[in-house]
Structures are given as structure tokens and as C-alpha cells.
Amino acid sequence: EAQVTQNPRYLITVTGKKLTVTCSQNMNHEYMSWYRQDPGLGLRQIYYSMNVEVTDKGDVPEGYKVSRKEKRNFPLILESPSPNQTSLYFCASSSARGNGYTFGSGTRLTVV
């Protein structure tokens, strides 16, 4: 089944403790992206990647890192999480032709 898999689905952590949210797709998509969703603010792009070893900042990249060492994986790294990073995070992927994204199931992160 074609899908984007995110883990974990839920995470509660403490301020400053490094964490990684994993994202993997099995559709051989070139494009991958991370979004955060907050009430009243819609979907805001954090980082995106157009291919292996190619990443770029989205609209709200501060406090986040990403890597794209393999085509299928695009982890989101929070080196020192803060409470304002409490949010619902979605990973998404699409083919190079700019078709619609397939979204993962989401990761609800709470930083206390």
C-alpha cells in the first residue's frame, strides 16, 4: 500500500531534550515536506526537500533540522524543543511533477 509513515503518533517530552520524528514513504517520491498545524494558523511549512541531499527552509524553520540521506526518509529533528513547538506535525510527499501531496498520519507533540 502506498503510504507515508510517521512515528511516533504521540509524543510528550520536556524542554531541551532532543527528539526526532521519523518519516518514510514507499512511493519513490522526490519531494518531501514537513508541516506543522496549529489552531487558526492552518498548515505551515517547516522544511522541504526536492531530492536526496537537497533541503530548504519553509516558512517556519526556526528550531528544526532535517536531513535527506535516502530518498524514502525525511526525519524532523528538534535539537532543543521548547513549549512553542507543541503542535501537530505532518510529513508529506509528492512526485517531482508537483502532484498533490500524500500526508502521513501526523505526530502530536507536546513539549512541557
Q: Which residues contact another protein by CB under 8 A?
A: 31, 33, 35, 40-45, 48, 50, 56, 58, 90, 94, 96-106
Strand partners, 20: 77
In angstroms, rounded to a whole number, what is the distance separating the alpha carbons of residues 31 and 105?
17
Give min distance, CB of 19 to another protein, in A. Answer: 21
Q: Which is nearer to another protein, 79 or 105 (CB)?
A: 105
In angstroms, rounded to a whole number, what is the distance separating the alpha carbons of residues 31 and 74?
10
Give min distance, CB of 85 to another protein, in A. Answer: 19
In this structure, are residues 26 and 41 in contact, taking their beta carbons and an 8 Å threshold? no
Q: Which is nearer to another protein, 10 or 69 (CB)?
A: 10
